[in-house]
């Protein structure tokens, strides 16, 4: 992520939460579930590995990332600056199911921006191999649905009076 893109994303978050706070009555509670860091997401690292063929493939951050609210200190500063108090983050560790079977899970994963970006950078032959690796991963995870571990923050904050 470039500094400019990061700044733009941060400014957009600040404006969005200021608007949300302005629309809320004083004392009401904002509740939001946000992903923890991508390194704490089994689904993210396993899928990235399958699509790249590299076990430790670096994640390319981008503006608007699903993990843009992963840092508790940044979330606290963001919400406090937008007019919220009593900001709390509670860890939630639950599995994420991508579908009842491999075909459904593959379709769900193909619709993700992450998957699209990673396949777009590959030639047809490489993309086919990547999808074969992804199918194999999903086959191995298909135990009464296709599940991966995940970590999130349950964020609560009260609108300042």
d(C-alpha 104, C-alpha 46), whole Å: 17
Please compute, for residue 66, the number of CA atoms within 13 A of its CA located in the half-sphere on the CB side.
16
pLDDT in tens, 69-127: 999 999 999 999 999 999 999 999 999 999 999 999 999 999 988 898 889 989 999 99
Query: What is the chain's Cα-based Rg?
Result: 18
Give residue 148's domain range. Answer: 3-159
CATH number of the domain to which 78 belongs: 3.40.50.150
Task: State whether the Cα torsion 79-29-150-15 is positive or negative.
Answer: negative
Q: How many domains does the chain have?
A: 1
pLDDT confidence bin for 60, thresholds 50/70/90: low
DSSP string, 61-92: --TT-TTTT--HHHHHHHHHHTTEEEEEEEEE
């Amino acid at each position: 992520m470039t500094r400019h893109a990061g700044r733009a994303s941060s400014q957009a978050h600040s404006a969005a939460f200021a608007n949300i706070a302005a629309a809320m009555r004083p004392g009401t509670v904002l509740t939001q579930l946000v992903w923890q860091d991508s390194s704490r997401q089994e689904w993210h690292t396993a899928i990235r590995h399958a699509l790249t063929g590299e076990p430790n493939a670096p994640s390319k951050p981008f503006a608007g990332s699903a993990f843009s609210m992963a840092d508790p200190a940044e979330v606290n500063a963001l919400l406090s600056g937008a007019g919220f108090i009593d900001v709390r983050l509670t860890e939630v560790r639950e599995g994420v199911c991508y579908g009842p079977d491999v075909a459904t899970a593959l379709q769900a994963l193909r619709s993700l921006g992450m998957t699209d970006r990673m396949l777009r950078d590959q030639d047809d032959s490489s993309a086919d191999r990547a999808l074969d690796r992804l199918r194999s991963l999903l086959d191995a995870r298909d135990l009464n649905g296709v599940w991966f571990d995940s970590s999130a923050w349950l964020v609560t904050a009260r609108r300042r009076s």
